[in-house]
Structure 1
Amino acid sequence: MPDLHSHAHPLTGASSDYAALLDAVGDARFVLIGEASHGTHEFYRERARLTQFLIEAKGFSAVAVEADWPDAYRVHRFVRGLNGDNTAEEALGDFQRFPKWMWRNTDVQAFVEWLRGHNERTSQAKVGFFGLDLYSLHRSMDAVVAYLQGVDPDAAERARERYACFDPFGLNPQAYGYATEAGAAEPCEEQAVEQLVDLQRRAPELVRDGLLDEDEYFYAEQNARLALNAESYYRSMFQRQETSWNIRDTHMAQTLEALDEHLTGQGQQARIVVWAHNSHLGDARGSAMSWERDELNLGQLTRQRWPESTFIIGQTTYSGTVFASNDWGSPGQVKAVKPGLNASVEAQLHQVDLPTYWLDMRSPQVYGALNTKQLQRFIGVIYRPQTERWSHYVMTSPAAMYDALLHVDTTRALTPLDADTAPDDAEEDVPETYPTGEYPTGE
């Protein structure tokens, strides 16, 4: 087996840590930075640190994250100086869906504060912050109506009438999905399509007349597109698991493409950093997600859409602690992470015997060592160490999933902003779909 230690780039906290990685990124316009869990401080810290270098040294113009579109757009307005929030913590206030700690934590707060300061200092185009996910069905419908109410009350009333199709199910999209798949109710797909088409048809008129500036129209259009895709997603939850997973990641890829087109249309060279879990960003074609379950993901779709312009970075750990929950909707807690299993990529990376480092997967020696099929751990917002092998490990070929791999051998749990991390009574507190095991733990 090749000696990975001789090919490892140690990370010490120095400003030069990522110089070689930035060189490896080259002219890529999409840098996807993953994480092996949603509750690890070092993953958030290093991802933010690397993103700062990409913004300052390579002119990246947007950060797109695995978060709901309306919630992230409040942060976007804050970092661009466009809303009334006075602090980063206030700007993160719309992240109330379980798990709140995924975005309401001290590491994200620090990055949002940095991004606001960067935008105030820069003479270049300001960097935006956007969400890619699709869980905000009702909030997005409300946002569409609200924007139309401000520019065309008649159009807002038409939108209300179309979206009223969802009213019998209250704020529970799962109830809608179950009823429509069981044949107890008619799907609302046609109404969601009509609303998106109506908004798109009027785009030249709305933007030309100044009724909505380009950014605000884009926000409204994306909310209408989200409502359409979320309608399909919630119906698919009662079909095969891979169906809902594929709808979700396809939506994220569509949103990324729309964001690229929007920024390019504003005269910018769109360069976008994407933050999401390894299971979304590591190319699914290099794992059992594709080999056994016909699942695709955002990393695969991005590579296929922009093969020469995509660079994927995964993050892993061997042991430590993580902030996670026992069950969906339960309060989070600090949990011990078991050492990586034998025959896992985590165990192999542990043998390098460095606390923190990164590997270039395109190096022939590294590629040869990490292109074999081996177990890889995925911890989502739930961590079940008692069933870890079945709940959290997937067979992968890491070198096929990532262009670079960042390993922190011993990690610690992130720090939430909220003492009580149980979910509020919000509409979209529903289990997500995951690529591993029977439990919702793999994302």
Structure 2
Amino acid sequence: MPNDTAPLRHPAPSNADLAGPQPTPVLPLSDTVLDGIAAQLAVGATVIGIGESTRFSRETFGVRDQLFRRLVRDHGFRALAVQDSAGAAAALDAYVGGGGGSAASALDGAWRPWRTEEMATALEWIRAFNRDHADDPVRIFGVKPVEAAPADYDAVLAHVRASAPERLAQLAAHLDPIRTAHTIDEHVQRARGVHPGRPFAEHARDALALVESLPDANADAADVVARMRLIVEFHEHSVAGRGSFAGDAEVGADIVGDFQHATGLRTVYWDGIAHTSAAETVLGLAPERGPQTTAGTLLRQRYGAQYVSAAIGFHHGDLGVAVLPDPGADLVDAKLGATDLPAHWLDLRQDDVRGQWDGPAKARVISGVYTPDRDAAEHLAVASLAEAFDVLIHIREVTPVRWLP
């Protein structure tokens, strides 16, 4: 790739390059530039991790979606791994494979950050592609095992309502507060100060004990107990239940690698940059934990240079959950934002670019637990920017995603 991928050498996009009618956001990179980024990502790649520094931006999601479309259309990628459970992703895969319902209804059971109009539009594009390429479709899969879903809570409550109605209120007192974790993660509720107090795993275990104590008077009892145990596992294995993200990387990397190996499909992996980074990261909110292995780290070990890591970050803007100020001077986002271009990108595999940008770095990360008062700690640190990310894409200003009802 020519060296004009360095930041200050990209011309601003012309009006002809700006994509999409309103209310779809105007993408900050031209079609030609997006074509070039996708082509560079695809060279020699089997798995491409495209991570965002936030899940709340229309622009970062839009660029990632547009890159994915090009990787599918022009470079033969046929699988999309998403940060969600196997069951939730199976519903998305069924929809893009021609199943009934709408993109929005397919997202009903998905992890909350996916339940946006932007994601629904992405699914609609994949479905249309698959309709036109029935013999060579795109598959979607989750990087987590099967987990409890809201329907499991409904089934347990319905069983007790029918078989032991006098115990229903007691059961509901345990299940009603904890099922909210499927809308807002328990650790996020704690960070926002809206958590009801008692750990959700404790409520789940008490609910299981209640269900197991009921007379086995219904043929569905075994299924209901199994669902209740799945609910317990969900809360015990959550970030709040474990007290950290430990273990997620190994599980996610194994699922991505095993799916890719079994199918032979070139795969794109969508997640946050703290997961897709090809090198260990230190979270600014928990520096005492030291370097953390990421799914991308393990995928790099498994695939070598055939795992390509791309990061999409931003300088400032309104994310809906908060208005983000300019990044601190010690963040790579501040250095990348030194230009007034709406967006630009770097290929850190190019020797001259790597020489200018490599080294220890901190990058902004805005998660669901973000609060403006600790903005300076909302980042991840890596020992080598070029080891963590092969490609950096920087967007100057962002606006919020549009949540589905």
Change (3 A) 1:250 1:322: same
Following superposition of structure 1 onto structure 2, how do residues 249-288 of structure 1 map, counting pairs within 5 Å? 249-263=249-263, 269-285=264-280, 287=282
Give the structure 2 partner of residue 16 of structure 1. 32
Candidates 379, 399, 405, aligned match of 2:386? 399
Structure 1: which amino acid aligns with 2:293? Answer: L
- The answer as to whether partners of 1:70 and 1:140 remain within 8 angstroms in 2 is no
| Cα deviation 1:148-201 (Å, max 9, x = unaligned) | xxxxxxxxxxxxxxxxxxxxx8695996856999xxx9xxxxxxxxxxxxxxxx
Quote how far apart the aligned CAs of 1:138 are: 2.7
**Alignment pair present for 1:138 and 2:155:** no
Change (3 A) 1:227 1:312: farther
- Runs of 4 or more, structure 1, over 3 Å off, are 3-15, 139-142, 169-181, 226-233, 235-239, 286-292
Quote how far apart the aligned CAs of 1:43 are: 1.1
Change (3 A) 1:232 1:352: same
Give the structure 2 partner of residue 322 of structure 1. 319
Quote how far apart the aligned CAs of 1:361 are: 0.7
Aligned mates of 2:239, 2:58 — CA distance in 1: 33
Give the structure 1 partner of residue 302 of structure 2. 305
Give the structure 2 partner of residue 93 of structure 1. 108
Quote how far apart the aligned CAs of 1:368 are: 2.3
Change (3 A) 1:236 1:287: closer
Structure 1: which amino acid aligns with 2:109? Answer: D
Aligned mates of 1:299, 1:35 — CA distance in 2: 13
Quote how far apart the aligned CAs of 1:291 are: 9.8
Give the structure 1 partner of residue 329 of structure 2. 342
Give the structure 2 partner of residue 154 of structure 1. none
Aligned mates of 2:360, 2:305 — CA distance in 1: 25
| TM-score for the superposition, normalised by structure 2 | 0.71
- The answer as to whether partners of 1:9 and 1:358 remain within 8 angstroms in 2 is no
Change (3 A) 1:17 1:67: same
Give the structure 1 partner of residue 44 of structure 2. 27
Aligned mates of 2:86, 2:73 — CA distance in 1: 25
Aligned mates of 2:117, 2:74 — CA distance in 1: 25
Corresponding residue SS for 1:64? strand
Aligned mates of 2:11, 2:105 — CA distance in 1: 37
Aligned mates of 2:11, 2:301 — CA distance in 1: 28
Give the structure 1 partner of residue 100 of structure 2. 84
Quote how far apart the aligned CAs of 1:227 are: 6.3
Give the structure 2 partner of residue 439 of structure 1. none
Quote how far apart the aligned CAs of 1:253 are: 1.1
**Alignment pair present for 1:127 and 2:143:** no
Aligned mates of 1:59, 1:228 — CA distance in 2: 38
| Cα deviation 1:294-326 (Å, max 9, x = unaligned) | 4211110111111131111001111011133xx
Change (3 A) 1:258 1:58: same
Give the structure 2 partner of residue 163 of structure 1. none
| Cα deviation 1:377-429 (Å, max 9, x = unaligned) | 11012321111112x123333222100011101111111112xxxxxxxxxxx
Following superposition of structure 1 onto structure 2, how do residues 73-222 of structure 1 map, counting pairs within 5 Å? 73-81=90-98, 83-85=99-101, 87-95=102-110, 100=112, 102-133=113-144, 137-139=147-149
Structure 2: which amino acid aligns with 1:280? Answer: H
Change (3 A) 1:228 1:179: closer
Quote how far apart the aligned CAs of 1:285 are: 2.3
Structure 2: which amino acid aligns with 1:138? Answer: A
Aligned mates of 2:260, 2:253 — CA distance in 1: 11
Aligned mates of 2:397, 2:233 — CA distance in 1: 37
Corresponding residue SS for 1:285? coil
Corresponding residue SS for 2:268? strand
Quote how far apart the aligned CAs of 1:29 are: 1.0
Aligned mates of 2:12, 2:299 — CA distance in 1: 28
**Alignment pair present for 1:63 and 2:80:** yes
Change (3 A) 1:383 1:9: farther
- The answer as to whether partners of 1:344 and 1:376 remain within 8 angstroms in 2 is yes
Change (3 A) 1:313 1:235: closer
Aligned mates of 1:117, 1:234 — CA distance in 2: 36
Change (3 A) 1:113 1:76: same
Give the structure 2 partner of residue 5 of structure 1. 7
Aligned mates of 1:38, 1:236 — CA distance in 2: 18
Give the structure 1 partner of residue 343 of structure 2. 356
- The answer as to whether partners of 1:246 and 1:297 remain within 8 angstroms in 2 is no
Corresponding residue SS for 2:33? coil
| Identical aligned residues as a percent | 20
Q: Which runs of 5+ in 2 are unaligned?
A: 19-29, 156-173, 180-185, 187-198, 210-225
Change (3 A) 1:231 1:294: farther
Aligned mates of 2:320, 2:84 — CA distance in 1: 18
Following superposition of structure 1 onto structure 2, how do residues 401-420 of structure 1 map, counting pairs within 5 Å? 401-418=388-405
Q: How many pairs does the alignment contain? A: 331
- The answer as to whether partners of 1:314 and 1:405 remain within 8 angstroms in 2 is yes
Aligned mates of 1:371, 1:71 — CA distance in 2: 38
- The answer as to whether partners of 1:357 and 1:407 remain within 8 angstroms in 2 is yes
- The answer as to whether partners of 2:281 and 2:380 remain within 8 angstroms in 1 is no
- The answer as to whether partners of 1:313 and 1:406 remain within 8 angstroms in 2 is yes
Aligned mates of 1:413, 1:235 — CA distance in 2: 26
